[in-house]
Amino acid sequence: MASAYELTRDELTGLLAGEPKYRVDQIWQGIWEQDRFPEEITTISKALREKLTAELPLALAVANDVSTDEGTTRKWVYRLHDGYTIETVLMNYEDRVTVCISTQAGCAMGCTFCATGQAGFSRQLTLGEVVEQVVRAGRAAAPRRISNIVFMGMGEPLANYDVTVGTIRALHHERGLSARNLTVSTVGIAPAIERLALEGLPLTLAISLHVANDAERDELIPINKRYNLERLYQACEVWRAETGRRISFEWALISGVNDTDQALYELAEYARPLGAHVNLIPLNPTPGFLVIGSPAARVRYFRDELEELGVNATVRRTRGRTIDAACGQLANVTNGKRRSIPVR
């Protein structure tokens, strides 16, 4: 099905054949600048609104809407037209408003500590389905404006490459969001990182590293068997050379697994030559992965030791854990039930 968020101006002009030319501007501004759905654009006739609503239906239907952190974190479960569900998270901070969006229904990467990976892959999202997540979050955030977008929801963004890049360009050109405020996360699909480096987009690249030796990373992040740490390192060098942008390494601290001194030194040796920044994230609980996150004291020690070893590191503040909205917890949960199959 077509989506208003997938149309070019020329395609919209074709759809409006026979209408005055200024209608294109009215509708384009309503959709992209005012976050209005076609049925809400009151500067056009009721008949035209009904036509647009029928021919450009919305892609997402709210299946669940929950909040936590005193209302500052909000998660939506959206049902797609074929019954699959995805999740979007809105986070309000004092200085910014961030939305975490999904690019796939499920995920094929199979990372053992991630709820989405455990649920399996259903399908790729369309451009309209991804962009509409941002539009709906923007409506919910009003009167504040979305300032940051992170491609860290369900799915591997670089496995849905064209839609991810198309979304970035649409948000940049049509909504005026700076690419510098957009972060794309990846488990390390090396060729796609190198391709992204040539797109001319000054976005932030966040690599879910989590382990810095191949034997253990093969177990936690299966894609490492295809693109090992050496190959990933080469892609990181291409990224730095082509973009001049710093890389972030994400490191979910798992007690007794990757919070040891050995793991710390391996990470430092890998990150320091790249000038990478490390984001430390105490592991969030996920069903089926029977380990726990590192205690706070160990997290602080890990950060401090990395700094001593010449690696910039910060501890990411966890948001949304109580509603399964935190890092690694998104897994199609509606009414307390995890789903990996279509919801009819």
The two tokens of residue 159 are 């496995």
How many angstroms separate the Cα of 320 from the Cα of each of 73, 90, 135, 330?
A: 6, 9, 21, 10
Catalytic residue list contains 111 = no
Number of H helices, E strands in the chain: 11, 14
Which candidate in 6, 87, 156, 250 is catalytic? 87
Going by their DSSP bridges, the two strands 247-253 and 204-208 should be labelled as parallel
Phi and psi for 136 in degrees, rounded to 5?
Answer: -65, -40
Contact by Cβ (8 Å): 223, 182: no
Q: Number of C-alpha atoms within 13 angstroms, CB side, residue 106?
A: 15
Which candidate in 107, 111, 114, 327 is catalytic? 327
Question: To the nearest 10°, the Cα dihedral for 249, 254, 255, 261?
Answer: -30
Q: Determine the Cα angle at 236 with ends 111 and 181, to 5°.
A: 80
The two tokens of residue 25 are 């501007």
Q: CA 337 to CA 272: how far, in whole Å?
A: 42
Catalytic residue list contains 107 = no
Contact by Cβ (8 Å): 130, 177: no
- The single residue listed with the structure tokens 């209005």 is 36
Which residue numbers are catalytic? Answer: 87, 327
